A and B are shown apart, each in its own frame.
Chain A
Amino acid sequence: MDSILTILIFFPAVAGVLGFVVHKDSIRAYGISVAAIEFALSLVLWMGYDPNVSGMQFMESIPLIPEFGISYLLGVDGISLFIIVMASFFTMIGIATLGETKRIKDMIITLLFLQMTMIGVFASLDAILFYVFWELSLVPMLYIIGAWGGPLRIYASVKFFLYTFTGSLVMLVGMLFMAYFYQQATGVWSFSLLEWYRLILPENYQLWLFAAFFFGFAIKVPMFPFHTWLPYAHGQAPTIGSVLLAAVLLKMGTYAFVRFSLPLFPDASVFFMMPIAVLAIIMIIYTAMVAYAQEDLKQVIAYSSVSHMGVIILGTFALNVEGIAGSVFLMIGHGIVSGALFYLVGVIYDRRHTKMMREFGGLASVMPRYATIFGIMVMASVGLPLTINFVGEFLSLLGFYKQSHIMTLLAGIAIIVGAIYMLAAYKKVFFGEVTKEENKKLPDVNKREMFALIPLTVIALWLGIYPKPILEPISNSTESIVQLMHDKAITQEAKERIPNLVDEMSISRTSTQEAH
């Protein structure tokens, strides 16, 4: 159990390298077994995780460049644990349900490398290590979009790469400055996040660093107005690429907000709370309206992702336990639901080779099972109670309500506009008479597709009805972050905005102290 995180990160990569020597006919079985083992390992991680401890667990530390305090530092807490499990889950069903693909061997190896980078990002506690995985994750994705994408794939993949890469470079500068300030304050170099947590920066430093980090994270999320790479990437990516992009890769941005921005710069977080909330509200309403105007089913879901990410951002910047826990939960929820929706679009794309909604209509009678699952996911996406998204959305909005009434009222429009574009899209595709001749004989979802869709449906409902197994660890870890922020806050406003939890409940150890 001691080095399970290292195994989780590098097992897929090693297996991917070995994959080059596997024969083309058996690569599919090989990929599935590797991904299944990886998923089993992530479940082992979950089983071994103690939900009552709020700090980091399964920590591993190997010094890499001691002079500069760069080390190979890993650990998970309730916030990262479930994203890791989700990443391995999606990779597994992604590989298992891969349809007819050209150069399937390359695809599976790429996916395994992508998995390494995804898990690496969420398990890293060293800024440099984090950055390395963060940037590496671009490469397999670039390859997936560029090699297996649609007609505009080169433009889309280059845009995706350069845009996010530019943002990350600004973030890297921020990281270097952060380490420099740390060195100034303590006399030693360190890139360890846990060390950084203990540093209280003056407010004006915080503002600049926050802005630098924000740039990198906001493009990844993607936040308005940095979102335009996303529709292209989704529009051109193959199904598996879209699924992983929406389910896991976008979460890197919001996760990094929780992991870096909030605990490192509590005062700056409070300072920027309202501007970011305004951006989040624009994201929610504006992109929802853009989604409504789309003609391509996949674009509807791509824009809906941006809209939902707005709610996640809003919850994160509620800066209280309800909001942050809600936003982390919504990361999982959105991952499951949008992943499933992209997969569902892929199902119909495989059959008709078009994603234009006007080409469909009346599919409910031709493909009833497909329509049912799609309907469940649409309702989950709309945020109906007892589905996974409701829990996250409810808590995020509830949390932010503490900070601003009117902003939450505006953000709450999400539940209206969300229903409008989703139901309109559903109506166009599934309701009405079947008008096109080629739609009359479409086969319903087959067994292979069911293998992906049934678990996703079950999870979407199960975690909506009984979110406790996930919400509790998330909540515990969130509490320690909020408490850390409260303790670190310098300005009066920040002290007031970020609740103090110690009076109400006894958290004896915060993650900071636990690192020592």
Chain B
Amino acid sequence: MEMYLYIALFAPLAGSLFAALFSASPKTLIAGIVPSALLFVSFLSSLVLLVYVMGGETVHVEMMTWMATGDLYIPYGFLVDQVSATMMMVVTIVSTIVHIYSIGYMDHDKSFNRFFAWLSAFVFSMMILVMSDNFAGLFIGWEGVGLCSWALIGFWYHKESATWAANEAFIMNRIADLGMLIGIFLIYWNTGSLQYDKVFAAMSHVDIAIVSTIGIFLFIGAMGKSAQFPLHTWLADAMEGPTPVSALIHAATMVTAGVYLVVRANPIYDLIPDVGYFIACLGAFVAMFAASMALVNRDMKRIIAYSTLSQLGYMFVAAGLGAYWVALFHLMAHAFFKALLFLGAGNVMHAMNDELDPFKMGGLRHTMKGTFIMMTLASVALAGIFPLAGFFSKDLILEVAFIENHYILYTVLLLTAGMTAFYSFRLVALIFHGEERYKLFGFHPHEAYKYMLIAMSPLALLAVIAGAFKMTYFEMVTKVLPMTEYHVHNPIVYWIMTIGTQLFVIACILYAYRKYEVAKEDKKMEENIGYKILWNQYYIPHFYEEYISKPYRELSRIFWKDIDMKVVDATVDMVANVFYKTGEKTRGMQDGNLSSMLQLMVVGLVAMLALAAVYSIATVLVAG
């Protein structure tokens, strides 16, 4: 099994290095095909491992030492258990599809080879992240995905907005990484190890206040990667990258890392339900907050990005309430339909020459049938309509909130579910239905390459049927995760809830269709203050720019020009100048005039005599 583990882990790296070899040369198709094929190999190995761990076994290897000093010992250790196997499956399936899709999508880009080098490196980082058996190894992957996201968001580096977004993503993630790092330090100094098994075993002996601190700091790390409020702005700006990258970031290789961390550290969070409750509250808040921004946005990719943010909120609600397997399940289901949505959006963008405003589209269902079907499927799944994947995973989270008696959370999530349905179908309605507004703008849409659609089809299939794996999945992951079944015991309540939710969601969908079937600019609505707040993303980016970036820039300048130059350095120069100036002022003494020198000599003589006299008198006085 170890061989499969290494293949699963290092195949993406090999692909990345292979593509990197060609990075300086013009587009070579093989630089796209080989990484894709290697990733497929990685997927197959992951599948083998998944089947293996389903039987209750785990694979644990230690490749070599990384850092060892004092009592600290950090190996490159890898662990495939039920949780990481699930993650590996999600990552490799989505990534393989995205890779194949990208061969078509990036067809005309002159940096085709470089793109695949980074894309595979991205997957490799994520594989390290999910497969590591210790927190330090996790941190390698953690930073690795940060690096790759930086390179991929800023892939079109000649665009100012892209590089800006890339730096923003990296720096925001770094802020969170500091929290993560502090969490790791705390773990080390309190348990003496960073290996998951040792840490979790020792955790019960650690003071509960410290465990809470650890939990909080680790969650701060998770907040950055999973773009939770207030570190969420990078995710929407990250849409500057090529669309396959967005699909990868949102579905497989980046934002899920935070959820994974909380799930992986479940023995820690189990000890501190208060922190868990806070996580759940923040998650519910973000779910609603992000969904509200998606309601009014006019950028196709940003709408989907906000929906990811919102769904991550759902996952954190589940994880925070202790339903780790539910969180992981929603992560998996979400990965499939979100990747599908993004790839569909990529097709639309290609068709529309990178136009992102859905108000300029409309009626595309005639020209882009395949994309239309798949995006509709993904939206239905996202909205959580029976029997698609979203129904099983998202409704489960609602049930968890209900059963754990957090009715406020439940209500928030329910409302958010309605909003989700609304904005998803607002998008579908605007793009694919109604009049063909694009003709006004002179676009000539065309369907994407056939193999791109074929590549997407497994995702569509999974988005439809993923719910069917619920019980198999449950039995598998609960070997490592807390086994709590969430069932509403009263059947009447259960049916009312389920059917009620479904009806509510369907109502929202129908409302979205009604309102946006015929896209008209609703001037009255746009003047509304609420609309303006949502349109400006609650003025948060503005706030960051005005009150954090600008003061930082200004302060840096002051530190340099005013403090470093005018105070610190000037002090040093002043000390030097004292000597210099003293010399300058007194050099007149050495004017070579014998007479004045003699005068000085006499003055000196008198002064010394006076000193001697004073001294002797003083001695006499003291003695007397």
Indicate whether A and B are direct neighbours in the complex (CB within 8 Å).
Answer: yes
Q: Mark B554-584, 1 if CB is under 8 A from A, else 0.
A: 0111011101100011011000100000000
- In the assembled complex, A69 has its CB within 8 A of some CB on chain B: no
A222 CA to B164 CA, complexed, in Å: 33
- Residues from chain B with a CB closer than 8 A to the CB of A364 are 157
- In the assembled complex, B608 has its CB within 8 A of some CB on chain A: no
User: Closest CB-CB distance, A409 to chain B, in whole Å?
Assistant: 6
The reply to whether B69 and A384 contact each other, CB–CB distance below 8 Å, is: no
Q: Mark B432-475, 1 if CB is under 8 A from A, else 0.
A: 00000000000000000000000000000000000000000000
The reply to whether A289 and B555 contact each other, CB–CB distance below 8 Å, is: yes
Q: Mark A369-393, 1 if CB is under 8 A from B, else 0.
A: 1001000000100001110001100
Among listed A54-62, A257-265, A290-298, A346-354, interface-contacting one: A290-298
- In the assembled complex, B160 has its CB within 8 A of some CB on chain A: yes
The reply to whether B556 and A290 contact each other, CB–CB distance below 8 Å, is: yes
Of A159, A289, A474, A479, most B-chain CB atoms within 10 Å? A289
**Residue among A225, A229, A398, A424 making CB contact with B167, cutoff 8 Å:** A424
Of A321, A423, A474, most B-chain CB atoms within 10 Å? A423
- Residues from chain B with a CB closer than 8 A to the CB of A66 are none
Q: Are A292 and B556 CB-contacts (below 8 A) given A416-B175, A420-B171, A427-B163?
A: yes
- In the assembled complex, B143 has its CB within 8 A of some CB on chain A: yes
User: Closest CB-CB distance, B353 to chain A, in whole Å?
Assistant: 20
**Residue among A320, A369, A398, A424 making CB contact with B185, cutoff 8 Å:** A398
- Residues from chain A with a CB closer than 8 A to the CB of B181 are 394, 397, 412, 415
- In the assembled complex, A238 has its CB within 8 A of some CB on chain B: no
The reply to whether A432 and B175 contact each other, CB–CB distance below 8 Å, is: no
A385 CA to B146 CA, complexed, in Å: 11
**Residue among A365, A431, A433, A504 making CB contact with B71, cutoff 8 Å:** A504
A192 CA to B401 CA, complexed, in Å: 71
Of A162, A225, A424, most B-chain CB atoms within 10 Å? A225
- In the assembled complex, A419 has its CB within 8 A of some CB on chain B: yes
The reply to whether B67 and A395 contact each other, CB–CB distance below 8 Å, is: yes
- Residues from chain B with a CB closer than 8 A to the CB of A395 are 67, 69, 72
User: For residues 462 through 512 of chain A, which have their beta carbon under 8 Å from a beta carbon of chain B?
Assistant: 465-468, 471-472, 474-475, 478-479, 504
- In the assembled complex, B615 has its CB within 8 A of some CB on chain A: no
The reply to whether A379 and B147 contact each other, CB–CB distance below 8 Å, is: yes
- Residues from chain A with a CB closer than 8 A to the CB of B325 are none
Q: Are A419 and B163 CB-contacts (below 8 A) given A395-B67, A408-B182, A471-B67?
A: no
- In the assembled complex, B58 has its CB within 8 A of some CB on chain A: no
Q: Mark A219-258, 1 if CB is under 8 A from B, else 0.
A: 0000011111100000000000000000000000000000
A416 CA to B157 CA, complexed, in Å: 22
**Residue among B72, B154, B556 making CB contact with A398, cutoff 8 Å:** B72
User: Closest CB-CB distance, A180 to chain B, in whole Å?
Assistant: 28
Q: Are A322 and B154 CB-contacts (below 8 A) given A228-B569, A391-B67, A412-B182?
A: no
The reply to whether A419 and B68 contact each other, CB–CB distance below 8 Å, is: no
Q: Are A475 and B556 CB-contacts (below 8 A) given A398-B188, A416-B174?
A: no
Q: Are A320 and B70 CB-contacts (below 8 A) given A290-B564, A415-B177, A416-B171?
A: yes
Q: Is the interface of A mostly helix, strand, loop or mixed?
A: helix
- In the assembled complex, B64 has its CB within 8 A of some CB on chain A: yes
User: Closest CB-CB distance, A100 to chain B, in whole Å?
Assistant: 27
The reply to whether A290 and B559 contact each other, CB–CB distance below 8 Å, is: yes
The reply to whether A415 and B178 contact each other, CB–CB distance below 8 Å, is: yes
User: For residues 131 through 146 of chain B, which have their beta carbon under 8 Å from a beta carbon of chain A?
Assistant: 136, 139-140, 142-144, 146
User: For residues 279 through 328 of chain A, which have their beta carbon under 8 Å from a beta carbon of chain B?
Assistant: 286, 289-290, 292-294, 320-322, 325-326
The reply to whether A384 and B143 contact each other, CB–CB distance below 8 Å, is: yes
Q: Are A433 and B72 CB-contacts (below 8 A) given A385-B140, A408-B182?
A: no
A292 CA to B182 CA, complexed, in Å: 25
Q: Mark B157-172, 1 if CB is under 8 A from A, else 0.
A: 1101001100100110
A391 CA to B143 CA, complexed, in Å: 13
A420 CA to B178 CA, complexed, in Å: 14
Q: Are A432 and B160 CB-contacts (below 8 A) given A398-B185, A467-B66, A504-B71?
A: yes
User: For residues 1 through 39 of chain B, which have their beta carbon under 8 Å from a beta carbon of chain A?
Assistant: 23-24
A504 CA to B73 CA, complexed, in Å: 14
The reply to whether A478 and B69 contact each other, CB–CB distance below 8 Å, is: yes
A159 CA to B556 CA, complexed, in Å: 25
User: Closest CB-CB distance, A439 to chain B, in whole Å?
Assistant: 13
User: Closest CB-CB distance, B569 to chain A, in whole Å?
Assistant: 4
The reply to whether A386 and B140 contact each other, CB–CB distance below 8 Å, is: yes
- In the assembled complex, A401 has its CB within 8 A of some CB on chain B: yes
**Residue among B68, B139, B177 making CB contact with A472, cutoff 8 Å:** B68
User: Closest CB-CB distance, B125 to chain A, in whole Å?
Assistant: 10
The reply to whether A474 and B69 contact each other, CB–CB distance below 8 Å, is: yes
Q: Mark B107-150, 1 if CB is under 8 A from A, else 0.
A: 00000000000000000000000000000100110111011001
Q: Are A433 and B158 CB-contacts (below 8 A) given A368-B24, A398-B185, A468-B65?
A: yes
- In the assembled complex, B552 has its CB within 8 A of some CB on chain A: yes
User: Closest CB-CB distance, B189 to chain A, in whole Å?
Assistant: 6
User: Closest CB-CB distance, A506 to chain B, in whole Å?
Assistant: 14
- Residues from chain A with a CB closer than 8 A to the CB of B552 are 289, 292, 420
Q: Are A402 and B189 CB-contacts (below 8 A) given A412-B181, A415-B174?
A: yes
User: Closest CB-CB distance, B305 to chain A, in whole Å?
Assistant: 22
The reply to whether B167 and A427 contact each other, CB–CB distance below 8 Å, is: yes
Q: Are A225 and B568 CB-contacts (below 8 A) given A423-B170, A478-B69?
A: yes
Q: Mark A416-443, 1 if CB is under 8 A from B, else 0.
A: 1001100110010011110000000000
User: For residues 327 through 370 of chain A, which have their beta carbon under 8 Å from a beta carbon of chain B?
Assistant: 362, 364-365, 368-369
- In the assembled complex, A17 has its CB within 8 A of some CB on chain B: no
A433 CA to B156 CA, complexed, in Å: 10
The reply to whether A368 and B157 contact each other, CB–CB distance below 8 Å, is: no
The reply to whether B572 and A384 contact each other, CB–CB distance below 8 Å, is: no
- In the assembled complex, A163 has its CB within 8 A of some CB on chain B: yes
User: For residues 39 through 69 of chain B, which have their beta carbon under 8 Å from a beta carbon of chain A?
Assistant: 64-69
The reply to whether B154 and A431 contact each other, CB–CB distance below 8 Å, is: yes
The reply to whether A322 and B70 contact each other, CB–CB distance below 8 Å, is: yes
- Residues from chain B with a CB closer than 8 A to the CB of A472 are 68-69
- Residues from chain B with a CB closer than 8 A to the CB of A293 are 553, 556-557, 559-561
- Residues from chain B with a CB closer than 8 A to the CB of A228 are 564, 568-569, 572
- Residues from chain B with a CB closer than 8 A to the CB of A159 are 572, 576
User: Closest CB-CB distance, A314 to chain B, in whole Å?
Assistant: 13
A326 CA to B556 CA, complexed, in Å: 29
Residue of A nearest to B564 (CB): A290
A369 CA to B20 CA, complexed, in Å: 12
The reply to whether B140 and A413 contact each other, CB–CB distance below 8 Å, is: no
- Residues from chain B with a CB closer than 8 A to the CB of A405 are 182, 186
- Residues from chain B with a CB closer than 8 A to the CB of A423 are 150, 167, 170-171
The reply to whether A325 and B70 contact each other, CB–CB distance below 8 Å, is: yes
**Residue among A365, A368, A369 making CB contact with B158, cutoff 8 Å:** A365
**Residue among A224, A379, A415, A466 making CB contact with B64, cutoff 8 Å:** A466
**Residue among A162, A321, A372, A385 making CB contact with B143, cutoff 8 Å:** A385
User: Closest CB-CB distance, B574 to chain A, in whole Å?
Assistant: 12
9 extra interface residue pairs, beta carbon distance < 8 Å, beyond A294-B560, A394-B67? A159-B576, A163-B572, A289-B555, A293-B560, A384-B147, A390-B143, A402-B189, A415-B178, A431-B154
A-B contact pairs, 5 of them (CB 8 A): A326-B69, A390-B143, A416-B171, A416-B174, A431-B163
For the complex of A and B, 7 pairs with smallest distance between CB atoms: A321-B70, A293-B556, A228-B569, A475-B69, A401-B185, A293-B560, A385-B140
